[in-house]
A = this chain, B = another copy of it.
Amino acid sequence: MRIPNHIGLIPDGNRRWAQNKGFEKQKGYEYGLDPGLQALKLVQEYGIREITYYGFTTDNGKRPRKQIDAFVKACVDAVNLIAKENVSLLVIGNTNSTIFPKELLKYTNRTNIGNGGTKVNFLVNYGWDWDIANLNTKIKNRKSIMDGLHSKDISRIDLILRWGGRKRLSGFLPIQSVYSDIYTIDDMWPDFRPEQFHNAMKWYNNQDVTLGG
């Protein structure tokens, strides 16, 4: 079986899930914590070497205060859960903003935890424009473009999994995603089931990799 080197994970649908349950919208985020950990375990079982979670973005900062507080807390809690596993952990995002949680500053340099191993990147207050704003325009090959990104420690992504039914990237790492296969799951993120992940791996196994060639 062909295993992706690096998967991106877009855990969308938390608010719609909460509404469907009759909860307030912001209540959905905390139900995404356990799925995040389950996905990490599956990544490790498959031998996938790197995973990047789409936490929250500079765009998300325009939402109502109650929602912001809830998704920031969920991201802090998620990173703290991941930090109990054997991972090489990196939090990436714009730290020059009060919305960036101070508790996560310590992970903005890659940190090996336990036996290390799986690279786990977590995007916190990430913006696609922030990411490319410092590109070095003097040297113009692909390597130097990657090296000019704020997210330069995140490698090219082979497969993106998006829950919540939307078929879009929503600003997720535009440069690392240029050649990614995109697999979407109609269920909302809190309704994560391992079977969805297995199906994505089976689907990926049947794609060809051309890197645009």
Contact = CB atoms under 8 A, between A and B. Distances in A.
Given A171-B179, A179-B168, A60 B129 contact: no
Interface of A is mostly: loop
Given A169-B177, A171-B179, A213-B59, A137 B137 contact: yes
A99 interface: no
A147 to B, nearest CB: 12
Contacts of A207: 166
Contacts of A83: none
A170 B179 contact: yes
Contact of A213 (B60, B141, B142, B168): B60
Contact of A134 (B62, B128, B137, B141): B137
A89 to B, nearest CB: 25
Interface string A93-129: 0000000000000000000000000000000000011
A134 B175 CA distance: 15
A145 interface: yes
Interface stretch (A1-9, A71-79, A180-188): A180-188
Interface residues of A, number: 39
Nearest to A148: B137
A174 B175 contact: yes
A42 interface: no
B169 A60 contact: no
B167 A178 contact: no
A132 interface: yes
A132 B135 contact: yes
Contacts of A180: 168-169
11 contacts: A57-B212, A128-B175, A129-B145, A130-B140, A132-B132, A132-B175, A167-B181, A167-B184, A168-B180, A171-B178, A174-B175
A-B pairs, 5 with minimum CB distance:
A59-B212, A133-B140, A174-B174, A171-B178, A171-B212
